[in-house]
A = this chain, B = another copy of it.
Amino acid sequence: MKRSDRLVALTNYFLENPRTHTSLPFFTTKFDAAKSSISEDLGIVDRVLREEGIGSLETLPGAAGGVKYIPHFSRKKGENFIQELCHTLEDSSRILPGGYLYMSDILGDPHMVKQIGRVLASAFSDLEIDVVVTVATKGIPLAYAVASVLSVPVVIVRRDPKVTEGSSVSINYVSGSSRKIQTMVLPKRSLQEGANVCIIDDFMKAGGTINGMKSLLEEFNANVKAIGVLAEADDEEDERVVEDYTSLVKITNVDIKQRNIEVNPGNITE
């Protein structure tokens, strides 16, 4: 195979297999090329990926050596994306009764979801996450977008147990905004003891739901390494019960009467 062809195939391979360790002999066999040629190819791919601001190749030397593609969303790309997102959300027709914001169009767009996942995953890149946990329903696409970049599985906490998931662990918690007692369930099989977990959700007000997830994860002795949300909003009635989290955008001053919203970059840009 010629270099030009190899570069296309290699780029595709790395984008398809993020954070996967691949030995050089795999490539020399696949492309029927010398180790030195492959090394040069990898140098080119690495340089262009860095220039495009989407990641880099990590080379591991020695006998067990090889190469790994680490996706990364450059700070500049992330900030531009978040600015655009704020602008999109600051649309008065999004205001719903109760001061909620319509975001289903954004969460329904696979391209947007992928970008949000990349920005969040970049922030958690060094935390050695084993699994991404979310709660049904709206956080699910974001959780997969983050997990896909981190190359780890997703586990979905449910509000009700399902027969197709076997035995499960459940807890009760108090929802921050409605002050109701609610239930959360996680199938026993779905999470290993002591896993490093990243919690992902679309929206956080007081943080009751995320706090509920934390309590449920304690039952599995999981280590909550990170909490990431698309949007945070101030809750006037309740104090926030979650301290350490990362948000992409922060919704403030939802004025239902004046039909006015203010959306600013979240703490991820700090």
Contact = CB atoms under 8 A, between A and B. Distances in A.
Nearest to A54: B12
Given A102-B165, A165-B102, A166-B96, A8 B44 contact: yes
Contacts of A45: 8
Contact of A140 (B52, B137, B189, B203): B137
Given A3-B4, A7-B7, A96-B164, A137 B153 contact: no
A67 B111 CA distance: 19
Interface residues of A, number: 56
- Main secondary structure, interface of A, reads helix
How many copies are assembled? 2
Interface in A1-55: 3-5, 7-12, 15, 44-45, 47-49, 51-52, 54
A72 to B, nearest CB: 13
Candidate in A8, A47, A136, A151 with the most chain B CB atoms within 10 angstroms:
A8
Nearest to A146: B110
Contact of A7 (B8, B100, B144): B8
A151 B48 CA distance: 25
Interface centre among A48, A51, A110, A152 (most CB of B within 10 A): A110
Contacts of A165: 96, 102, 104
27 contacts: A5-B47, A5-B51, A7-B7, A9-B51, A11-B11, A11-B15, A96-B164, A96-B166, A98-B163, A100-B164, A104-B165, A104-B189, A104-B190, A105-B189, A108-B156, A108-B190, A109-B153, A109-B154, A110-B147, A110-B151, A110-B152, A111-B148, A113-B144, A136-B137, A137-B156, A137-B158, A140-B140
